[in-house]
Amino acid sequence: MPLSGTLDVAREIPSAPRMEGFGAEPWEIARAEILQATFEIDDSAMTSLLPPALHPTIPPVVMFTVARYPDSPVGPFALAQVRLGSRAGVRPRGYLLRAYCDTDAACEALASGWGYACRRGEITLRRYHDRIGATVVVDGAEVLRVSLIDPEPISGADVFYVASMNLARVTEDGEEHVVLVQVDPEYRFHRAERGRPEIAIFGRAAWAAEDVEPVYPVVASAAVCDTGFPAIRYVCDALRPAIAGTRKVG
């Protein structure tokens, strides 16, 4: 039998964003810059970090994703996420622990439209001669510093970004439900690179990731691509296995 998440979802409800519904208009954004670093994590807490709807990956992994969006309906913004590798049924997914964004307008839109547990932070994404690095600063303290070391060009076909599963609250038929919102953007790559991931600072408490312990670097990628935030197609009951609790929106 596959392992399933054992997270106490009731404990997470107060911090879960509230959505008005699932009808957010899609955003199409050209030439976004994305850095993602993946690490294997200690497996002692791999089930307790995920809701019952999801299964942990074997080995368990954490994904740090920092992106800069040069334009959007709410203006340019940057977004940083920490997600856990998981599966909804057999499909690979990333369960969002927390996100930070550098504009209030984007924070509000991403939370209400796509269920991102998003807070305000200062985000940088920069290219150096030997690396591509990102930092996140919250209330004057650096809570993330992650890098891709020695980038080498690759084909965009070699880059795979898993869809996100965002825990959110939504009111339907007069009742509040806790759901996992599937966010699955498409990507058209202009440039892609791969290298060794390095993490220098990871403030776990700031990311609701106290039990996440990176132990082994897997891979890092960087890309320039056309992407965005799509119309929501599927949501999942957070307390039921995804294979039974997933439904199509609309």
Per-residue pLDDT tens over the stretch 98-113: 999 999 999 999 999 9
Q: Which of 230, 37, 8 is nearest to 133 (CA)?
A: 37
Q: What integer pLDDT is reported at residue 176 of this predicted model?
A: 83
DSSP H stretches of helix in 99-139: 104-114
> Which residues 6+ apart lie within 8 Å of 231 measured at CB?
24, 25, 26
Q: With beta carbons less than 8 A apart as the criterion, state whether 136 and 200 touch.
A: no
Cα dihedral 233, 239, 241, 243, rounded to 10, equals -20
Go through the domains of the chain in sequence order and give each one's CATH number: 9-248 (2.40.400.10)
Nearest to 42 by CA among 1, 84, 6, 89: 84
Whether the predicted pLDDT of 128 surpasses 90: yes
β partners of residue 69: 77
pLDDT, tens only, 36-89: 999 999 998 889 999 999 999 999 999 999 999 999 999 999 999 999 999 999
Asked if 106 and 113 count as a contact pair (C-beta separation under 8 A), the reply is no
CA distances from 250 to 22, 232, 247 (A): 8, 9, 9
Q: Is 197 exposed, middle or buried (0-12, 13-18, 19+ CB in 10 A)?
A: buried
* Nearest in space to 96 (alpha carbons), one of 49, 134, 39, 44: 49
Residues 135, 123: Cα–Cα separation, whole Å: 6
pLDDT digits (tens, 9 = 90+) for 192-242: 999 999 999 999 999 999 999 999 999 999 999 999 999 999 999 999 999
The model carries a pTM of: 0.96
Q: What is the largest CA-CA distance in the chain?
A: 55
**Over the stretch 163-192, which tens digit does the pLDDT of each residue have?**
999 999 998 777 788 999 999 999 999 999
Residue 40's Cβ-count burial label (10 Å; 0-12, 13-18, 19+) is middle
pLDDT of amino acid 171: 82
Nearest alpha carbon to residue 198 among 130, 99, 101: 130
pLDDT at 1: 64
Strands (E) across the chain are located at 18-19, 27-41, 55-56, 61-69, 77-88, 91-101, 118-120, 122-127, 131-138, 141-153, 163-172, 175-183, 188-202, 214-229, 234-237, 246-248
How far apart are the C-alpha atoms of 164 and 180, rounded to whole Å?
9
